[in-house]
Structures are given as C-alpha cells and as structure tokens.
Amino acid sequence: MSELRIAGGKKLFGKISVSGAKNAILPILGAAAATDGKVTIYNCPDITDVYTSAEIIKELGGNVLFEDGIMYIDSMGINKTSISANTASKMRSSITFCGGLLGRFKEVSFPIPGGCVLGDRPIDLHIDGFKALSAEVFSDESGFTAKGRLKGTDIHLRYPSVGATQNIMTAACFADGKTVIYNPSKEPETKDLADFLNMCGAKINTKSDKIEVEGVGNLSGCFYSVIPDRIEAGTYLFAAAMTGGKITLEGITATELGEVYNVLLKAGCELKSSENSITLKSSGILSPIDKITVSPYPGFPTDLQPQLTSLLSLAKGKSIIEETVFNGRNRHINELNKMGANISEDSSFIINGVPSLHGAEAQCHDLRGGAALTIAALAAKGTSIIKDPEYIFRGYENFVEKLKSLGADIEYYS
C-alpha cells in the first residue's frame, strides 16, 4: 500500500507557482471533445484526472498529446458517443463530456460516474437539462442515453450545480435558438469554460443571475490558457498558516482567491496581495471562527472545507463549519481526531481547537480530505503516515515536490 511519510513540526517557507485549475481544465477537456478542430490548452495541470480525461478523448477516437504543461487535442477523428464504465468510474468529472457529445453528435451514452465518495451526488439535474433541451433520455441504475436534435429554451436550475450548469451550457451551443440558464453556477471555473467555448466560436453571455447561450451549430479549435487553481492555492496557504510559516504563491491574486482570503485574515494570518502573487505570514497562533457556512460561489468553497477543518483544529477556541454542498464530506474528521484534534459532528462540524496535533497513521478517503490530512501532519509533532495518497495526486500537481521546496519533510512510497 502506498503512503506519505511526514515528519511534522517544520515551518513552511519559500515561493511556489500555482498550477492550472483542476476544476476548470476537466470541463474544458470535456468540451474540447465537442469541437471539430484542434485545441491547444496552456497551463494544463499535470494531475491524474487530466490523464483520465485524455484517456476518454482517445477512447472516443480523438488524438491527445500532453507535454510541458500544454495539452494538444485533435477531436476531428472522434467517432464514438459512448464512454466506457472503466474510465467513467475513475472520476465524476467524466460526466462533463456528455453535453458536448450530445450536442455535436445528437447522441451520448454514459454510465454512472465514479470519483470521490462525498455523499449524495445525483445526476438528475444533468438529465433534466438535456430533457429541457428536447433530448430523449433513457436512464436506469447503470447510466443513461440521450438522443435528439437540441432546441434552445429557458432552464431553471433548482440548485446552482456546477457540473449541470457546465453540461447544459456546452450542449446549448449546438441547440437551435437561444437557451437561458437561470440560477446557474457562478464559480470562476464555469466562467472559464464559457470563455473557452467562446474562443471556439460559441456565443455565451455570463451574467450574475443567468447564462445566455445562442446556438451556433458547431465549435472549432482554439488556443486557450486555464485559470489558476484557487483550491490548490488555498491548500498551501492553510499549510503555511498551520505551521507558522511564510510563503508566496505566484500566479494568483486575492480577487481570484475570493472568500478564502477573508477567512485567512479572520484566522489571524498576515496577507499581502500584488498583481500576480499572494504572500502569507503566520505566527502559528490561529484565531477561531465562530461559524462559517460552506456554500456555492461566492461562498466558501466545499473543496477547501476539509483543509479549513484542519486549520481550525489548531485555533485557540471553538469554531463551527456548516457544510451545505456535500452531505458526505466528513470522512476526514475521524482521521484528524486520530492526530489529536477535537472535532465532533452534529448538523455541523464543531471544532474545539487544541494546542497541538501529534503524528498518527491516517487514511485518505478522497482528494480534498487527503490534502487536509497532509497539512495537519505537516503541523503535527512527530511522524505521520498518510495511506493511499493517490487520491491527492488526482488534483494537485507535483504535490510532494512543491511541499519539499517549502521545507516540508515528506516522502512518497509507492
């Protein structure tokens, strides 16, 4: 069994660059399969999920080359509209291929997606969106098939689902007429997908309360650069805050970090932001936060909730986190308590800060939970073993190498 071995108690110091955003590149790769040209994507993160997406494109009949942070995609040869259960089981974001394939080929078949186990993650909003666009959808416990020429319409999402918004938006590029998506996802990664699609010839207008899509019939190739990963940035900033260090992240700004920046200030960290970097300095003495509610953008992101839980486990007082996005995003709690944290669950996470954490053996259950355990281990006294860190590599480029460059004592054993 693979593991990370971490000798904690070392302050993090130094400078690293923020990679391209995992949550942006995956739907962009899904949409790239809907183009009938060649796509070149810069700032593409070297993570496991990117390779899974490339595998899907190849299975569909496309060509992919990935080198030096640049992804070259030729989708003209794609001639399949079904995604295999084997690749779909590796990550939930595989579902973002469906909207583009349905629009381009008028048909798509897809099995139930895999990915991290975070509680209820239904795909009904995706299916409802395809139906609203006039597709016929046949579904059962194994997956679904959607067929038909799409027609523009008004779609009111009962929840601002990121994946459903992205799938519907991509599909609507091929619909006859205009589609308006009300109550859409407002995440920067959704805006990044819209910008990519527009570079491919789409006509998408993203507004605060709705997304308007004029159908264009087909999408061509383009050159595009992915936005920086705000979740990766937050993870490293939390790590520096917990260890009492000082780090600079290049390639991201306070505006792009959003609510995460404000939370770090509330926790007692010193922050400076320039046009292209953020510097954090921490005394290691952290302030509790009475209550923070995890919610869709512009709220605090669910993908940083586990890492925030780690951070507040060392705050001097009681903090409460309410997770409203994924009802099963709690498997890191017991693992953190193994390290000496004092966290209980009711309808929220109740975190009573402790003076210090201690080394322990902990189990990764998902991507962000694994990152949370790692940064807790970096701050703990003694040595920790983090089992199955491959979850982490799904979303963090050069994770071990970047931490080592900041002075962490961390080793990966496969």
Residues classed as catalytic: 116
Residue 329's closest CA among 302, 351, 356, 353?
Answer: 302
The rounded distance, in Å, linking the Cα atoms of 270 and 285 is 11
SS3 of 177, please?
coil
DSSP 18-73: PPBPHHHHHHHHHHHTTBSSEEEEES----HHHHHHHHHHHHHT-EEEEETTEEEE
First to last CA, the chain: 7
Number of Cβ within a 10 Å radius of residue 348: 17
The distance of Cα 162 from the centroid of its chain, to the nearest Å, equals: 10
Q: Which helix (H) or strand (E) holds 400?
A: helix 399-405
Question: How far apart are the C-alpha atoms of 9 and 377, rounded to whole Å?
Answer: 8
How far is residue 400 CA from its own chain's centroid?
19
* Contact criterion met (CB below 8 Å) for 101 and 57: no
Whole-angstrom Cα distance, residue 63 to residue 76? 9
Contact between 306 and 372 (Cβ < 8 Å)? yes
Name beta bridge partners: 367. Answer: none
Residue 184: both structure tokens together: 């859409």
**Amino acid found at 341:** A
113: left (phi over 0), alpha (psi -120 to 50) or beta: beta
CB-based contacts of 202, cutoff 8 Å, min separation 6: 173, 194, 213, 216, 219
DSSP per-residue letters across 283-350: -S-B---S-EEE-STTSB-GGGHHHHHHHHTTBSSEEEEEE-S-TTTTTHHHHHHHTT--EEESSSEE
